[in-house]
Amino acid sequence: MIAQTANSTASEFSQINPDICIVNYYTNFGKLGLHQDKDESESNLTKGLPFISISIGDTAEFMFGDTRDKDQATKINLESGDVLILGGESRLLFHGVSHVETNTAPSWLKEEMGIRPGRINLTFRQY
Ligand SMILES: O=C(O)CCC(=O)C(=O)O
Ligand SMILES: [Fe+2]
């Protein structure tokens, strides 16, 4: 498994010109099973072009690993404002969301932006 965290910079991955943005909204009961993202073109997947994920709202437990087995997956928290990049050799890692933690969003999102409870995730990709 290739998983680089805080020390990695976006410049280590090939640049993308995103032409797709997928928006997922999770209620506090929301989950997403372990899967690989491989709907993009074969050539861009082969190049390992990254996708870029931005989390907004409540914190999610995000899992990733080499297989679809959630017991073996590594779990990290993705908080509001976190950016996750899966690219290069990590591009086809299995990943998913095991749960969303109720009432963990920054209070200003609710108070000033009127955002509803739960989590929004945006992923930017290049087909
Ligand atoms: O919500 C997330 O952090 C992951 C979303 C995801 O894996 C997807 O949209 O394919
Ligand atoms: Fe995904």
Atom 6, ligand 1: residue with shortest CA distance: 96
* pLDDT at residue 76 tops 70: yes
* pLDDT at residue 2 tops 50: no
Please report where in the chains the tokens 């009961």 appear, as a residue: 29
Please report where in the chains the tokens 């990254």 appear, as a residue: 50
Per-residue model confidence as pLDDT tens digits over 19-67: 999 999 999 999 999 999 999 999 999 999 999 999 999 999 999 999 9
Average pLDDT over the chain, rounded to whole? 92
Q: Which two tokens stand for residue 20?
A: 């797709």
Helix/strand/coil for 63: strand
Q: What angle do CA 115, 116, 119 make, to 5 degrees?
A: 90
* pLDDT at residue 79 tops 70: yes
The third-level CATH classification (topology) of the domain covering 17-125 is Jelly Rolls (2.60.120)
Beta strands in the chain (DSSP E): 20-26, 32-35, 51-57, 60-65, 74-78, 83-86, 94-100, 119-125
Annotated binding site: 35, 37, 95
pLDDT bucket at 4, cuts 50 / 70 / 90: low
CA 110 to CA 54: how far, in whole Å? 18
pLDDT bucket at 14, cuts 50 / 70 / 90: confident
Q: State ipTM.
A: 0.99
CA 113 to CA 121: how far, in whole Å? 16
CA 110 to CA 1: how far, in whole Å? 37
Q: Which amino acid is at 65?
A: G
Distance 103 CA to ligand 2 centre (A): 24
Percent share of the chain, pLDDT over 70: 90
Relative to the CA of 121, which ligand 1 atom is closest?
A: 1
